[in-house]
Amino acid sequence: MDAAANAEIITCSRLKHIVSLADGLRYHATIPLYAQETDGVRRKLGVLNVASADWRALTGDDLRLLHTVGDMVGIAVERAHLFERSAELGALEERNRLAREIHDTLAQGLSAITMQLETADALLDQAAVQRARAAVQQALKLSRANLEEARRSVLDLRAAPLEGRTLSEALSALLKDYAVRWNLKTALDMAGAHRPLPARVEVTLYRIAQEALTNIARHAHARHATLRLAMTSDRIEMIVEDDGVGFDPAQPMPGRFGLTGMNERARLAGGSFEVRSGPGTGTRLKVWLPLGRDE
């Protein structure tokens, strides 16, 4: 059937002279199944066999009907293949989303716990008991908070991190928290960004801001951090700046995935992400997202 373009009448040599071993079959038809590619080339999927106990030749209408049925079966098979591939891609996207969520929440908190315990260990070696106790208490506080975060994630992986607050309220609280915990001077500047936003946009901006501030606290050795939001009718822009030591964006640090996660979040929301930095010049992160209808 390699050269067959549609259903045709072909005398079957296997059934022509067989009566007793044919299980009552006297006639059968084989229809090639194809999938239509975007470049116009048809890809072979298989064949459809139709059998009957009657002795009769197929009419032109029969052939056209079988050809139509073969096309419909081919379409159904190809749709099933496409659905399977889309399910695999959806699973991959979900795994990436979960990886970002874990990095943005649990991994950050556990890293902070590790730092506090390392500090306590060093202070114990120096017999600084009171300072060591303070570090341990801070580690316990962080561990309890991250345990609660883990429980919330298990109960509802799609729980919104804003917890019923507006984006401006959530970002303001986030900046205050980092200012206290990391001795940073922070500022929030919102230009026309007070109206309600789609939930997906708010969560994306919040998570990117959270990761950016975490990077500043851990790696930038900065004294000041500023977050700016500006909104137009069709897009919103967020800029996070610090006056820290900076880095070379062309030389990513091994084992650090914060910039990758922020970039992925922006792209999945239909926006863009860019970073400007250099040794001794501080860092400026900029993300913009389109403002469509909430899904």
CATH code for the domain of 244: 3.30.565.10
Domain holding 272, by residue range, is 164-295
**Residue 182 CB-density burial (10 A; 0-12 exposed, 13-18 middle, 19+ buried):** middle
Question: Under 8 Å CB-to-CB from 17, ≥6 apart: which residues?
Answer: none
Q: Rounded CA gap, 292 and 234, in Å?
A: 7
Contact 159, 153 (CB under 8 A): yes
Contact 243, 215 (CB under 8 A): no
* Mean pLDDT, rounded, for 127-149: 73
pLDDT of residue 138: 80
Buried-exposed string 254-281: b where 16+ CB fall within 10 A, e elsewhere: eeeebbebbbbbbeebebebebebeeee
Paired tokens of 268: 């999945």
pLDDT of residue 236: 94
Question: Under 8 Å CB-to-CB from 242, ≥6 apart: which residues?
Answer: 216, 220, 222, 224, 225, 226, 282, 283
Residue 10, pLDDT > 70, answer: no
Query: Is 112 inside any structural domain?
Result: no
Higher pLDDT, 15 or 109: 109
Contact 150, 108 (CB under 8 A): no
Positive or negative torsion for Cα 41, 45, 46, 49: negative
Higher pLDDT, 130 or 223: 223
Number of folded domains in the chain? 1
Higher pLDDT, 5 or 212: 212
Higher pLDDT, 121 or 15: 121
Residue 156, pLDDT > 50, answer: no
What stretches of the chain show up as alpha helix (H) in DSSP? 60-102, 108-125, 129-155, 167-182, 199-215, 258-268
pLDDT in tens, 214-263: 889 988 999 999 999 999 888 999 999 999 999 988 886 665 667 888 99
Distances (CA, A) of 270 to 102, 106, 201, 236, 266: 22, 26, 10, 12, 7
Report the run of H or E that residue 235 belongs to, with start and end. Answer: strand 235-242
Contact 243, 223 (CB under 8 A): yes
pLDDT in tens, 78-93: 888 777 777 666 666 7
pLDDT of residue 66: 83
Beta-bridge partners for 229 = 190, 238
pLDDT of residue 179: 94
pLDDT in tens, 24-47: 666 677 788 887 665 667 778 888
Query: Is 214 inside any structural domain?
Result: yes
Query: Is 156 inside any structural domain?
Result: no
Q: Rounded CA gap, 25 and 135, in Å?
A: 85
pLDDT band (50, 70, 90) for residue 3: very low
Query: Is 245 inside any structural domain?
Result: yes
Query: Is 9 inside any structural domain?
Result: no
pLDDT of residue 7: 47
pLDDT in tens, 107-123: 677 777 777 777 777 77
DSSP string, 177-228: HHHHHHT-EEEEEEES--S---HHHHHHHHHHHHHHHHHIIIII--SEEEEE
Higher pLDDT, 124 or 205: 205
* Mean pLDDT, rounded, for 38-61: 74
pLDDT of residue 81: 77
Beta-sheet pairing, 185-191 with 224-231 = parallel
Residue whose C-alpha is closest to residue 247's, from 273, 285, 211: 285
pLDDT band (50, 70, 90) for residue 1: very low
Q: Rounded CA gap, 169 and 124, in Å?
A: 40
pLDDT of residue 209: 94
Query: Is 287 inside any structural domain?
Result: yes
Higher pLDDT, 147 or 179: 179
Query: Is 66 inside any structural domain?
Result: no
Higher pLDDT, 57 or 177: 177
pLDDT band (50, 70, 90) for residue 289: very high
pLDDT of residue 295: 43
Mean per-residue pLDDT of the chain: 77
